[in-house]
Amino acid sequence: MSSLELELDGLRRRYGTVTALDGLTFGVPAGQVFGFLGPNGAGKTTAMRAIFGVASLDAGEIRWRGEPVGEQARRKFGYMPEERGLYPGMRLLEQIEYFATLHDMPAQSARAAAKHWLGRLGLRGREDARVDGLSHGNQQRAQLAVALVHDPELLVLDEPFAGLDPGGVDDMSGILAERAAAGVTVLFSSHQLDLVEDLCEAVAIIHHGRLVVAGPVADLRRGDRPRLAVRVAGDADGRWARMAGADLGDIEAVRQDGTVVISLTRGADSQRVLDLARAAGPVEHFSYEARRLSEVFREATGASVGQAEAEHAGRTAGTAAGTAGTAAGTGTAAGAAR
């Protein structure tokens, strides 16, 4: 793991009674598209803001190439925050150029780079348009141009796929892959785990401000207990599979068409499963099956992404109610004391 460029180490942050980050630790390797995943409210935005010093931390450290991140390093970072924002009345080209100069680009190359990215993102001809006159999609592209214009070494994008149509998702993922191929470290967040599992090489999945799992997507989807899907002709209930002992694996599910889903016991031989199946009848289907990332999340946390988000929403509302209750209680106590 020596090639980790960006390291988040033991990040902690509390807002009142809400814990946003609870010792979050993971690393992002160089030149990869890295997904930072988790349900809404897991602490992704706080962590990304902390990279830019826009959110402060109670504890922990963020390192870039082994050094704590400071102003110097941040000038080489590109950022697309969750809440998009540009100057509404400013012309597009000037705006992109302005952000380039803020990232230390000389005026000449700032203009050239701004033009290049506007062209690359399909905004050629809109250079003089005011940002508030652009369509929603084009505003998203402009925001991306701001993050890219100074040719950053690290690209941090908070929910870049939110609100994009399928074509927009393709464009965005194409650009992220292209940047990674050019050696840029790309970190993006999403709460739609399954939507982005094909777009990134590695992910970190977090929940309650803590890391749940991290690693290459392929490894996570296979898991340490690979999953087999086997169908034997004429056996709609998958009875044959019950003969297999726990030393081989556990039956996760039997599908409508009789396909049995088995998670193999660690170190078990998949060919013994095939033998069992063949003994029961002609084998119509036999394959490894990858898990969805949402399943990986559920296996690790015991809750679905949706449940986690509902719980988060409830917790936030509960906090507000709790505060109100406390205030009322204090009032009564004061009244009694008087």
Partner 1 sequence: MNRDVRMTWLVARRELRQRGRTRVFAISTVVLLVAVALGVALPAILSRHAKPERVGYVGDVTAAATQLIEQAGRIAQTRVTVVHEPDAAAAEAALRSGDVGVVLVPDREVLVKQVPLGTGSGGTLPNVLAQLAGLGRLFQEVPAAAAAAAKGIALPVRGLQPPSSPLGNRLTGLFTVVLVWVLISVYGSQIALGIGEEKSSRVVEVLLAVVRPVQLLVGKVLGIGLLALAQTAAMVAVFIVAGFASGSSLVHSTAIGIVLAGGVFMVLGYAFYCTAFAAAGSLVSRQSDVNATVMPVQLPLIVAYALSYTVIYANGANAFYHVLGFLPPTAPIAMPVLYAAGDVPAWQVVVSAALCAAGTVWMARVAAGIYSRSILRTGGRIRLRQALRREPAEAR
Q: What is the nearest approach in angstroms of partner 1 to the Cβ of residue 78? A: 9
Report which secondary-structure segment, H or E, holds 157: strand 154-157
130 binds partner 1 (CB under 8 A): no
What are the C-alpha distances in Å from 276 to residues 230, 251, 259?
A: 11, 14, 14
Distance CA 279, CA 286 (A): 14
Distance CA 123, CA 129 (A): 10
Question: 96 to 115, contacts with partner 1 by CB under 8 A?
Answer: 98-99, 101-103
Q: Residue 131 or 196: which CB sits closer to partner 1?
A: 131
Write the binding mask 131 to 170 for partner 1: x where contact by CB under 8 A, - elsewhere. ---------------x------------------------
Q: Where are the alpha helices (DSSP H) in the chain?
A: 44-51, 71-74, 92-102, 107-120, 136-148, 166-181, 193-196, 217-222, 270-280, 293-301, 305-337
55 binds partner 1 (CB under 8 A): yes
Q: What is the nearest approach in angstroms of partner 1 to the Cβ of residue 79? A: 5
Please select the residue that binds partner 1; options are 10, 68, 70, 89, rule is CB under 8 A.
89
Q: Which residues of 3-40 are buried (b: 16+ CB within 10 A; e: fewer)?
A: eebbbbeebebeeeeebbbbebebbbbbbbbbbbbbbe
52 binds partner 1 (CB under 8 A): yes
Q: Residue 146 or 241: which CB sits closer to partner 1?
A: 146
Distance CA 332, CA 329 (A): 5
Q: Residue 207 or 221: which CB sits closer to partner 1?
A: 207
Please select the residue that binds partner 1; options are 32, 45, 185, 294, rule is CB under 8 A.
45
Q: What is the nearest approach in angstroms of partner 1 to the Cβ of residue 207? A: 16
Are 315 and 43 in contact by the 8 Å Cβ rule? The answer is: no
Please select the residue that binds partner 1; options are 6, 8, 20, 155, rule is CB under 8 A.
20
Residues 6 or more apart whose CB falls under 8 angstroms from that of 45 comprise 82, 158, 189
Residues 6 or more apart whose CB falls under 8 angstroms from that of 12 comprise 21, 22, 23, 24, 57, 58, 59, 60, 209
Of 14, 21, 43, 41, the residue nearest 310 (C-alpha): 41
Q: Residue 320 or 337: which CB sits closer to partner 1?
A: 320
Q: What is the nearest approach in angstroms of partner 1 to the Cβ of residue 37? A: 18
Starting at the edge strand found earlier in the chain, the sheet holding 154-157 runs: 77-80, 154-157, 185-190, 33-37, 202-207, 210-216
Please select the residue that binds partner 1; options are 10, 53, 174, 314, rule is CB under 8 A.
53
Residue 144 identity: L
Q: What is the nearest approach in angstroms of partner 1 to the Cβ of residue 19? A: 11
Q: What is the nearest approach in angstroms of partner 1 to the Cβ of residue 287? A: 43
Taking contact as CB under 8 A, which single stretch among the options 51-59, 116-124, 214-222, 226-234 is the one that binds partner 1?
51-59
Q: What is the nearest approach in angstroms of partner 1 to the Cβ of residue 205? A: 19
Q: Residue 316 or 332: which CB sits closer to partner 1?
A: 316
Q: What is the nearest approach in angstroms of partner 1 to the Cβ of residue 46? A: 6
Give contact residues for partner 1 (rule: CB under 8 A). Answer: 15, 20, 45-46, 49, 52-56, 71, 74-75, 77, 79, 81, 83-90, 94, 98-99, 101-103, 146
